[in-house]
Structure 1
Amino acid sequence: MSGLADYNDGRLAHAAEPVGLLDYVTSAAFAVDVAENWKSEYLQFFLYVFASVWVLLRGSPESKRAGWETDEDQ
């Protein structure tokens, strides 16, 4: 709703008629705003998961390269 209000304020500033919710949701302005927000959220989520996995698995026995240690060391 706030995106619609902002969009209509911009239209009124340029002497254009305000639009309804359905017209706004199907507009390119709505698609751009949603895509920008989702890109940010997915980037944050990916970095959080990647950092968590790296911290949790660092030094674990499963992360050691096979063949680098002798049977006695393992």
Structure 2
Amino acid sequence: MPHLPLASFRPPLWGLRPSWGLSRPQALCTQPEPHGSPVSRRNREAKQKRLREKQAALEAGLAEKSKVRDTCSAH
């Protein structure tokens, strides 16, 4: 639960302050450089996909252990 506010808190900062992102391009994953942007974006998407799949597997395992299957089908 604590990582949800962080996720919703970060993107608006990047969108509202382009000058801050331009002054520190190495700190950001979404750099405007053609050789860095697609690779980092692909890596980030793959990482998020893996995390989502891992979480789904964990939830499925927990649901099977506690024999509560309607929570799994609700997702």
> Given the two structures, how large is their TM-score scaled by the length of structure 1?
0.45
> Given the two structures, how large is their TM-score scaled by the length of structure 2?
0.44
More helix by share: 2
